[in-house]
Structure 1
Amino acid sequence: MVSWELVFRASVFIAEEMGVALRRSAFSPNIRERMDHSCAITDSEGNIVAQAEHIPVHLGSFRVGVKNLLNWLSREGIELSPGDAVLLNDPYISGTHLNDVMIMEPIYVGNKLIGYVVNKAHHVDVGGPVPGSINPSARTIYEEGLVIPPVRIMIKGELQRDILNVILSNFKTPETAIGDITAQLAANRVGVARVRELVEKYGVDNVVNAWREGIEYGRKLALMEIGKWPRGVYDAVDYMELNNELLPIKVSVEVSEEGAKADFSGTHGQVEAPINAVYGVTFSAVSFVIRSLIQSDIPTNEGFYSTINVIAPEGTLVNPRKPAPVSGGNVETTQRIADVVFKALAKALPNRVPAAGSGTMMNVMIGGTLPNGGYWAYYETIGGGTGGRPGKPGVSGVHVNMTNTLNTPIEIAERQYPLLFTGYRIREGSGGDGSYRGGDGIIRSFKVLTKARLSIMAERFRTRPWGLWGGNDGAPGRVTIRRSNGEVINLPSKATIDLEPSDEVIIETPGGGGWGKS
Structure 2
Amino acid sequence: MSDRTREIRLQVMWNRLISVVEEQAMTLLRTAFSTSVREAGDLSAGVFDPEGRMLAQAVTGTPGHVNTMAEAVLHFAREIGYDDMYPGDTYVTNDPWKGTGHLHDITMVSPSFKGDRLVGFFACTAHVVDVGGRGFGADAKTVYEEGIQIPIMKFAERGVVNKDLVRMLRANVREPNQVVGDFYSLAACNDVGHRRLIAMMEEIGLETLDELGAFIFERTRAATLDRIAALPRGAWTNTLVTDGYDQPVTLKATLETRGDTVNVDFTGTDAPSRWGINVPIIYTKAYACYAMKCVIAPDIPNNWASLAPFTISSPVNILNAERPAPVSLRHVFGHMVPDLVLGALAQALPGKILAEGAGALWNIHMSVRPAGGQAGRQAEILMFNSGGMGARPGLDGLSATAFPSGVMTMPIEATEHTGPIVIWRKELRPDSGGDGEFRGGLGQVIEIEPAPGHEFDFSAMFDRIHHPARGRDGGQEGAAGSASLDDGTVLKPKGWQHVPAGRRLVLELPGGGGYGDPARRPAEARAGDLSKGYVTERRK
| TM-score when normalising by structure 1 | 0.94
1:377 equivalent in structure 2: 380
Any conservation in 1 of the 2:119–2:208 contact (CA below 8 Å)?
no
1:76-475 aligned at under 5 Å gives the runs 79-129=84-134, 133-205=135-207, 207-294=209-296, 297-313=299-315, 315-329=316-330, 331-369=331-369, 375-401=378-404, 403-449=405-451, 450-475=454-479
Larger Rg: 2
Deviations 1:206-239 (A, max 9, x none): 6321112201211111111122121211111112
1:47 equivalent in structure 2: 53
CA change 1:285–1:296 in 2 (3 A) is: closer
Tell me whether 1:57 sits opposite 2:58 in the alignment: no
- 3-state SS of the aligned residue for 1:489? coil
CA change 1:135–1:421 in 2 (3 A) is: same
Taking the aligned partners of 2:377 and 2:512, their CA distance within structure 1 comes to: 40
- 3-state SS of the aligned residue for 2:329? helix
Taking the aligned partners of 2:119 and 2:424, their CA distance within structure 1 comes to: 52
- 3-state SS of the aligned residue for 1:245? coil
Give how far 1:205 is off.
4.6
Give how far 1:468 is off.
0.5
**2:384 partner letter:** T
**1:159 partner letter:** V
Taking the aligned partners of 1:78 and 1:150, their CA distance within structure 2 comes to: 16
Taking the aligned partners of 2:160 and 2:375, their CA distance within structure 1 comes to: 34
**2:318 partner letter:** L
Give how far 1:372 is off.
6.8
1:34 equivalent in structure 2: 40
Taking the aligned partners of 2:96 and 2:226, their CA distance within structure 1 comes to: 33
Q: Which runs of 5+ in 2 are unaligned?
A: 1-5, 519-540
Taking the aligned partners of 1:221 and 1:481, their CA distance within structure 2 comes to: 52
Give how far 1:373 is off.
8.0
- 3-state SS of the aligned residue for 2:97? helix
Give how far 1:243 is off.
4.0
Any conservation in 2 of the 1:380–1:407 contact (CA below 8 Å)?
no
Any conservation in 1 of the 2:435–2:477 contact (CA below 8 Å)?
yes
Between the aligned residues of both structures, percent identity stands at 28
- 3-state SS of the aligned residue for 1:142? helix
Taking the aligned partners of 1:244 and 1:25, their CA distance within structure 2 comes to: 39
Taking the aligned partners of 1:374 and 1:429, their CA distance within structure 2 comes to: 38
2:77 equivalent in structure 1: 70
Taking the aligned partners of 1:206 and 1:176, their CA distance within structure 2 comes to: 37
Give how far 1:288 is off.
0.8
Deviations 1:329-386 (A, max 9, x none): 1x21112211110000001112221001112201101013467787411112211111
Any conservation in 2 of the 1:274–1:328 contact (CA below 8 Å)?
yes
Deviations 1:50-77 (A, max 9, x none): 0012111111111221112222224xx8
Any conservation in 2 of the 1:356–1:465 contact (CA below 8 Å)?
yes
Deviations 1:272-323 (A, max 9, x none): 111111111111111111121135621211111111111122x211111101
Q: How many matched pairs?
A: 506
Deviations 1:187-221 (A, max 9, x none): 11001101111211233356321112201211111
Taking the aligned partners of 1:453 and 1:52, their CA distance within structure 2 comes to: 36
Taking the aligned partners of 1:291 and 1:379, their CA distance within structure 2 comes to: 30
Taking the aligned partners of 2:420 and 2:392, their CA distance within structure 1 comes to: 40
Q: Which has the larger displacement, 494-503 or 275-284?
A: 494-503
**1:508 partner letter:** E
Q: Which runs of 5+ in 1 are unaligned?
A: none
- 3-state SS of the aligned residue for 1:488? coil
CA change 1:79–1:204 in 2 (3 A) is: farther
Any conservation in 2 of the 1:198–1:207 contact (CA below 8 Å)?
no
Give how far 1:499 is off.
2.5
- 3-state SS of the aligned residue for 2:98? helix
Q: Which has the larger displacement, 42-51 or 447-456?
A: 447-456
Taking the aligned partners of 1:374 and 1:183, their CA distance within structure 2 comes to: 26
CA change 1:373–1:324 in 2 (3 A) is: farther
CA change 1:103–1:296 in 2 (3 A) is: closer
Deviations 1:457-481 (A, max 9, x none): 1111111101101111111111112
Taking the aligned partners of 2:133 and 2:503, their CA distance within structure 1 comes to: 24
**2:125 partner letter:** K
1:481 equivalent in structure 2: 485
- 3-state SS of the aligned residue for 1:154? strand
2:524 equivalent in structure 1: none
Q: Which runs of 4+ in 1 moved over 6 A?
A: 371-374
Give how far 1:418 is off.
0.5
**1:109 partner letter:** K
Taking the aligned partners of 1:179 and 1:495, their CA distance within structure 2 comes to: 28
- 3-state SS of the aligned residue for 1:213? helix
Tell me whether 1:18 sits opposite 2:34 in the alignment: no
Taking the aligned partners of 2:387 and 2:116, their CA distance within structure 1 comes to: 50
- 3-state SS of the aligned residue for 1:327? coil
**1:88 partner letter:** T
Any conservation in 2 of the 1:105–1:117 contact (CA below 8 Å)?
yes
Give how far 1:165 is off.
1.3
Give how far 1:413 is off.
1.9
Taking the aligned partners of 2:362 and 2:271, their CA distance within structure 1 comes to: 24
Taking the aligned partners of 1:87 and 1:495, their CA distance within structure 2 comes to: 29
Taking the aligned partners of 1:489 and 1:214, their CA distance within structure 2 comes to: 56
Taking the aligned partners of 1:250 and 1:374, their CA distance within structure 2 comes to: 46
Deviations 1:130-167 (A, max 9, x none): xxx22221111122111111121111011121211111
Taking the aligned partners of 1:293 and 1:444, their CA distance within structure 2 comes to: 32
Any conservation in 2 of the 1:218–1:302 contact (CA below 8 Å)?
no
Taking the aligned partners of 2:348 and 2:299, their CA distance within structure 1 comes to: 21
Give how far 1:181 is off.
1.3
**1:263 partner letter:** D
